[in-house]
Structure 1
Amino acid sequence: MTSNQTFAISFVARADRKGNEKNTLNIYARITVGGKRAEISVVKSVAKESWNSSKERLNSKYKDFRQGNAYIDQVRSKLTSIYRELSLKGAFISPLVIKNCFIGITDTGKTLIELLDYHNESQKNTLMPGTLKNYFTTQKYVHKYLKECKKIDDIRLGEINYKFITEFEAYLRGYEPIDHHKALSNNGVMKHLERLRKVTSMAVRLGWLEKDPFEKYKLSFVKVDREFLTDRELEVLREKSFQIKRLQFVKDLFVFSCYTGLTYIDVHNLKRDNLILGIDGEYWIQTIRQKTHMVVNIPILPVAWEIINKYKDDPRAVNNGTIFPKLSNQRLNSYLKEVADLCGITKTLTFHMARHTFATTVTLSNGVPIETVSKVLGHSNLSTTMIYARVLKDKISADMKDLKQVLQNKEDNAGLKRHVKR
């Protein structure tokens, strides 16, 4: 809030619920700035008949009414002085800021938008571009919430509390995009709150906040099964050819990821130097995952090797010094929707689905040990890989057929033994 917003001080009385008598009041100084309020206790345990609400004064029925009224005047004067000082400094002003100054609570003067700006600027060389982009999106939603719901451009960090967080959550859940984007899912809402929590944790470490406002707030993610292509869908995609070069290229990249498990950014950054001879005398991909900085070593399967050779002399790749021509992730995913439609695949095709397909359909369902899959995917721990260790329907069918055969063999052997005994 800025200093040109409305400012007022009034004195109000409310019932003293802790008092022994039902007709006892407590007097509060109410600070109002831009429609927002904060209150400070001024006089306690005042009989109802001792307070004149229209004049905001104690009357003679209160034994120390002169001293009481003098204190009320002092409080009004001090609060007004605090407001004026903050205005002259051009500082951020809110009812809570004025209250904190009055009661002697030190305040760094930092605001939420200032904190978000500081985080994004200080982390721009540390976070991946995609991750940083997500923080900017969270900041956009925070700004929208402040503007639309609080009618302000910014808010003091000291005003960020549990109530603010739950109200921001409600805003995100009810937000209706006016463009082509979908409404936020539960997990989408939680990701924004997770990023906001990381930012406020930074503020605590910097000494800008005394207490983490998320201390009593619990993020609640809904477990979602990661989609992947089945054997049949992957076969249809692999064998489909397109006359339109951009669609053929996008399809090839997707299939390449299905047989290597590499993410978009890691495929995007692949160079000839990443192709090495492995211990088996065959070519492997050796690279460092951009997300986790872990070294991954991937034996190149025939399908993936064929795609590498297909683009090795492409001028767009040669000029960039990469294995494949470059294409933005946004455009790639947009083209994948066209590819899916033309292949009759009803699932929402995204490039990251290729990694899920590699983990589930290409490796685990074909008997590759989960420890091996974890190493190839570049996961830092096995628990991350466990999300892919789903039991596929085809695997269930095959295992049950084997079980039927085992049971049948046992039944046949038992029958043979009974026949022999006779």
Structure 2
Amino acid sequence: MKRNFSLIFFLRKAKTDQQGLSSIYMRITVEKKRCELSTGKTCPEKEWENGKVSGSSSRAKTLNLYLHQLETKLHEAHRQLLLMDELITAQTLANQFLGKTDKPRMLTEVFQDHNDEMEALVGIEFAPMTLLRYQTALRHIKQFLTEKHKIKDIDIRKINHEFLTDYDFFLRTTRKCNNNSAVKYIKNLKKIIKLCLANGWINRDPFANFKAKVKVVERPCLSQEEINKLEILEFGNERLNRVRDIFLFSCYTGLAYIDIYQLKRSEIIIRNSNERWLITSRQKTGTPTRIPLLPKAIELLSKYENHPLCVDFDKAFPVSSNQKMNAYLKEIADLCGIGFVLSYHIARHTFATTITLQNGVPIETVSKMLGHKDIRTTQHYAKTLDIKVGKDMAVLREKLTTAPVKTTGVSYNYTITK
């Protein structure tokens, strides 16, 4: 975008020496933002008028000619920035005028620096999966730059609204991302842009008029009948039985895969007259989680008390990798006749919906046990099932049927006028 500038010369009276000479400064203004530079010249205040030296003396003519040359040089600097399609601000114009050519900040370099710092903080402030998502986002950016712009990197000052819309289109077409995945990768890029803004490397936010919204996705969960079928079915295969047990434990506690993988026996404690509680922190957010264990969860725990891996490493369960767990759960779903793809995260939705909310547990309590910081997150997990709606309406129907009809004994007369 072409930006005009204004230039004035003025005396800085605070820089007046003992001989009464004040320093002459030049003020560059672009979109109400200023940058002031010394001209290296001085002038008595009484000889200064309307931005130049008054009078016709040879000294006045020499000084005014010098100031005019500075103005011409500044216009040339402005023209050079326009030719290079650089962002024009008071500071960049001053730098060009002074011959200061800062090395441009490049997008993938800044992104990589961010990822390197994040990697050093994995386990302290960030989860491994968070790092993996940003690493994937950087690969998408590099592919986009190569295929769309035929370049390996881009100056962050050249990222604009058009760049963002093109990248969003690339994610949805070339990368085949669904809406929510595309929005997440866009948000990863937005964090890098905010980092650049905070450091003063860019002066405008390209995301100012860019909107990308996550769509609410219908989250499947197991019904009580499907949970019962899982519990009673024996697979004749130790591997599938173990995966089923660990999955069911999450159905009764709401733990995510990474939390059940890291769960230690020492995090199961006894409170309140022999009640067993699970007290841990969510790996994703670090939020404390305290869950009173249901009898079926305790029963599942006891099955693996003597498992060698659990005994040697203080593990609650011998958990396989997330990929293997999900692969085995697909086998289990086929054997049980479950009509959708069964993944480990469905256990968390099942706890929120079928185990707790459907049985009258308040959503505030469910949110606390799930370790959510915002109850709106819990609302995304928990859907109101038709069976719960039916039960609630049945109670209302009973109240309306049995409630006596009260009459006030007051009659009303209505007159209809034509």
TM-score greater than 0.5 by the shorter chain: yes
Match of 1:151 in 2: 150
Looking at structure 2, the residues matched to 209 and 108 of structure 1 have their Cα atoms a distance apart, in angstroms, of 13
The Cα offsets for residues 128-183 of structure 1, whole Å up to 9 and x where unpaired, read as: 1011111111111111111111111111111111110001011111125xxxxxx3
The alignment status of 1:324 with 2:317, answered yes or no, reads yes
Match of 1:397 in 2: 390
The Cα offsets for residues 180-216 of structure 1, whole Å up to 9 and x where unpaired, read as: xxx3111111111011101111122223322222122
The alignment status of 1:114 with 2:109, answered yes or no, reads yes
Do the aligned residues in 2 keep the contact of 1:284 with 1:298 (CA within 8 Å)? yes
Whichever residue aligns with residue 165 of structure 1, its letter is L
The alignment status of 1:201 with 2:197, answered yes or no, reads no
Looking at structure 1, the residues matched to 239 and 152 of structure 2 have their Cα atoms a distance apart, in angstroms, of 44
In the alignment, structure 1 segments of 5+ residues that lack a partner are 1-70, 83-93, 177-182, 415-422
The alignment status of 1:366 with 2:359, answered yes or no, reads yes
Match of 2:60 in 1: none
Do the aligned residues in 1 keep the contact of 2:246 with 2:319 (CA within 8 Å)? no
Match of 2:234 in 1: 241
TM-score, normalised relative to structure 1: 0.70
Whichever residue aligns with residue 127 of structure 2, its letter is M
Do the aligned residues in 2 keep the contact of 1:190 with 1:220 (CA within 8 Å)? yes
Whichever residue aligns with residue 229 of structure 1, its letter is L
Match of 2:164 in 1: 165
Equivalence map 1:309-388=2 (5 Å): 309-388=302-381
The Cα offsets for residues 96-149 of structure 1, whole Å up to 9 and x where unpaired, read as: 469998895665521111011011111121321011111111111111111111
The alignment status of 1:214 with 2:176, answered yes or no, reads no
Whichever residue aligns with residue 146 of structure 1, its letter is L
**RMSD value, Cα:** 2.8
The alignment status of 1:407 with 2:400, answered yes or no, reads yes
193-202 vs 328-337, greater mean Cα deviation: 328-337
Percent identical across equivalent pairs? 40
Looking at structure 1, the residues matched to 234 and 153 of structure 2 have their Cα atoms a distance apart, in angstroms, of 53
The alignment status of 1:140 with 2:127, answered yes or no, reads no
The equivalent position to 1:184 in structure 2, one of 169, 177, 182, is 177
Looking at structure 2, the residues matched to 248 and 103 of structure 1 have their Cα atoms a distance apart, in angstroms, of 71
Do the aligned residues in 1 keep the contact of 2:279 with 2:288 (CA within 8 Å)? yes
Do the aligned residues in 1 keep the contact of 2:265 with 2:315 (CA within 8 Å)? yes
Looking at structure 2, the residues matched to 99 and 404 of structure 1 have their Cα atoms a distance apart, in angstroms, of 70
SS of the residue 2:142 aligns to: helix
Whichever residue aligns with residue 374 of structure 2, its letter is N
Whichever residue aligns with residue 114 of structure 1, its letter is E
SS of the residue 2:253 aligns to: coil
Runs of at least 4 residues off by over 4 Å: 97-108
Match of 1:129 in 2: 128
TM-score, normalised relative to structure 2: 0.71
Cα deviation for residue 329 of structure 1 reads 1.4
SS of the residue 1:143 aligns to: helix
Whichever residue aligns with residue 133 of structure 1, its letter is L
Whichever residue aligns with residue 172 of structure 1, its letter is L
In the alignment, structure 2 segments of 5+ residues that lack a partner are 1-71, 406-418
Specify whether residues 232 and 265 from structure 1 end up closer, same or farther in structure 2 by C-alpha distance, changes over 3 A only: same
The structure that has the greater radius of gyration is: 2
Do the aligned residues in 2 keep the contact of 1:285 with 1:299 (CA within 8 Å)? yes
SS of the residue 1:323 aligns to: coil
Cα deviation for residue 403 of structure 1 reads 3.1
SS of the residue 1:298 aligns to: strand
